[in-house]
Amino acid sequence: MRPYIREKKDFAFNEVPVDTSYEAGYLVSVNSGWRSIRPVVANEKCVGCEQCYLYCPDGVISINNGKAEIDYDFCKGCGICAKICKLGAIGMEAERK
Partner 1 sequence: MANKTADSISRDEFFYGHKACAGCGGSLAVRAALKVLGPRAVSVLPAGCMSAVGFNFPQLCFSNNSIISTFAGTASMLTGVEAGLRAKGYKDFTAVGFAGDGGTADIGIQALSGAIDRNDNIIYICYDNEAYMNTGIQKSGLTPFGAKTTTTPAGKNIHGNIRPKKNMFEIAAAHDIPYAATASVGYINDFIAKVQKASQIQGTKYIHVIAPCPTGWGVPVDETVNIAREVVDSGLWYLAEYENGEFTLNHKPKQFTSVGEYLKKQGRFRHLSDEDIKIITDSRDKKWEFIEKNFNYK
Partner 2 sequence: MKKFLSGNEAFAEGIRLARPEVISAYPITPQTIVVERLSEMVEVGSLKAEYIHVESEHSALSCAIGASAAGARAFTATSSQGLLYMAECLYYASGGRFPIVMMNADRSTALPWNIYGDQRDSLSQLDSGWIQAYAENAQEALDLALMSYKIAEDKRVSTPFMANLDGFVLTHTYETVDIPEREQADRFLPPYETDNRLDFDNPKNMAFSAGPDYNYIFKYKEHEGVLAVRQVINETEKEFAEIFGRSYTGLIEKYLTDDADYIIVTLGSIAGLCRETADDLRSRGVRAGVLRIRYMRPFPNQEIADTLKNAKAYAVLEKDVSFGNEGTVFTNVNSALKKASVDVKGYNYIGGLGGRNISSADIEKIFSDMENGAETVNFIGIGGENNG
Task: Give the residue among 76, 96, 79, 97 at the shortest CA–CA distance from 88.
Answer: 79
Terminal CA-CA length for the chain = 30
Interacting residues toward partner 2 by CB under 8 A: 11, 13, 16, 18-26
Map residue 40 onto helix, strand or coil: strand
**Rounded least distance, CB 59 to partner 2, Å:** 17
Rule CB under 8 A: say whether 79 interacts with partner 1.
yes
- Residue 30 near residue 71 (C-beta atoms within 8 A): no
Looking only at residues 9 through 48 of this chain, which bind partner 1 when binding is defined by CB under 8 A? 9, 11, 17, 20-31, 34, 47-48
Query: What is the contact surface with partner 1 in residues (CB under 8 A)?
Result: 1-5, 9, 11, 17, 20-31, 34, 47-51, 53-59, 62-63, 66, 74, 76-80, 82-84
